[in-house]
Structure 1
Amino acid sequence: MSTLETVGDSSQTLAQRMAKGRLPVPEALRYGMILTEAVRRIHESGQAHGAIAPSCIAISRTGLDLLPAVGSMELVTPYTAPEVLRGNPADSRSDIFSIGVILYEMLTGRGPFQGGSLEALSAAILNSAPPPSGSPAVDRMVANCVAKDPAARWQRAQKLLMELKLLSVAVRRSEAIAPVRREPDPAMLAEMQQMESRFASRMAQVEQSIAAFSERLSQVEQVQRSTSDRVSHVEQTLQSTSARVSGVEEIQESTGDRVAGVELMQRSTGERVSQVEQAQQSTVDRVDRMEHAVNSVRQDAAEARDALSEDRAPLERSLKSQAAAIESVKTAVAQTDDLVERVVEALESWQSVVLDHSRD
């Protein structure tokens, strides 16, 4: 059990709080950010919760506690991800699916996937999309969490946390500006708009960079697989050539034994000297041909080894270069996410300053 942050005054679960109806938007967003931050820390430790549901989130005087899963991990709930329903193990993307369902239910007062029976609920999770919530921003955020294909969802809780912070900033700004009658300072408003425009442009560039990185990573992995297949083929060819060389050497040894036998017969049988000499000459000729064949096969094997050595060095350099490129891409993506999060935090701080100035 992990205490996250003090958010309530009474001991109850989030399920009990949600049973009373839709939560106010600021409260729902605050709960969402606290929950997402907790799950983000779990994922960074290399683990996944696997069964997040409002019933395992406690609101108490001491804080918001994310409890272990209640009951069997195989139990189907409205918060179970599609891939888990299909029998696959839960991972970090399954947790993001569960958080998206909880966010939708807190903000709308109803679940995105409903069914009167276990079969109907499973069919809704696997095939249905959440009904519109009335807010395009909320619909876009939830859609990126509850996509049927895990690869189409946001892959990191950090991305969801940034979206929740941006949405929270927008909500606070609308609530603060609504009762204010006077017009804000034109210069400050223009600067704020320019900052928001630059941030939106930067976000679009980041999304394009991530997509380009992902495409490049896929291409590198494909080339790496093709290169590995080529190396395997060359190694198999070399093994086959070595086997042929071994067979020819065995034949040569057998022929040598026959020559020794002929020589013994020549010494012991004087009457068949002429015939033995002819047989010996024939055998010697055959041995010469065999030796020529062995030399030819050995030359082929040497050429194959040289070709493998020439091909292997560039291939190994290519594999190392590709591995370095993959690590560079992963590092760039992580640095980009950290940069965007700092920009979001700076925007939130700037927004607070602007609102305080407007009230004054």
Structure 2
Amino acid sequence: MRNLGKFPLAEVAAYRFAQTPMRSFAATGSLVVVAFYMIAQMVGAGQLIKVLFGLDYVVAVILVGVLMMCYVLFVGMTATTWVQIIKAIMLLSGATFLALAVLWQFGFNPEALFTKAVEVHAKQDAIMAPGALIKDPISAISVGMALMFGTAGLPHILMRFFTVPNAKEARKSVGWATTWIGYFYILTFIIGFGAIVNLVQQPDLYFVDGDLAKGLRGDGNMPAIHLSQALGGNVFLGFISAVAFAVILAVVAGLTLSGASAVSHDLYATVFKHGSADSAAELRVSKITTICLGIFAVFLGIAFEKENVAYMVMLAFAVACSANFPVLFMSVLWKDCATKGAVAGGIDGLVSSVALTVLSA
């Protein structure tokens, strides 16, 4: 992709196939993924601000939407990149400290941590078994494929490959990213079991009305935030909250930029104007799209208040894996792939994944 000099999904696919149908599909697929991913970020941000400042959830989501629109409209890709660099350093540092603080409680013995978690949790040994999402080997394979291939189909990830100077640097950056992401995933299960041990034993502080049955304050999306307070007091709570907010801002900005690009460049400039639109008109459409996406994101955040953030992110990966990734993969590696096949396959993946999501539990 980097050698081709084309960075959004639509650019790569349209290089090989007919422009109008390919760009129409790619823009639609990108916008659907952006919408799913937006839900997770807006719900997470709303719950975070609600817990921290005691604001009403709806007010919190509207505040985040306005902030995000201002950020993208006035500062663009360069500032988004800097936020992503800073939040990555803060996130890895904060998560490392959190995991070490949990292990320190048990003399750096993970087995002692797991034993205590089983002891205090209502479900006892059941928490050591695969969770509700992964009930059988087929589900495990499915989730693995969604997370692996879905990443390669996310529009705001693909956009990043053009921010490095050459293909060698692109490969190097992917290697570093994979290493640090793997490291972070290792930390998450330590943080999860640490949250069980520390929060369940202090229901008055962290659960609604002090009742375990009513769930955590801020729903099931807040265990790491509450754990930071339990282990490091208000100072560390402030730091982890700042990290969480920076992560949300960076992701939402990236999503909005890729969504605005899909509408302004792929749909408006190429499909509707057949390549005759000037850059000023394209920029104007991009800014209007940014405002529309911001308003849409606020409505989605309010509508999906009770949803689990991790679950919504996984659905975005599932759609990207089913619709965007196969088209991207075939356009780069299969010389006999034709426009009709690519568009039909992509639309089939998009419609089936969204329909199954809508019809699911």
- TM-score when normalising by structure 2: 0.24
TM-score by length of 1: 0.24
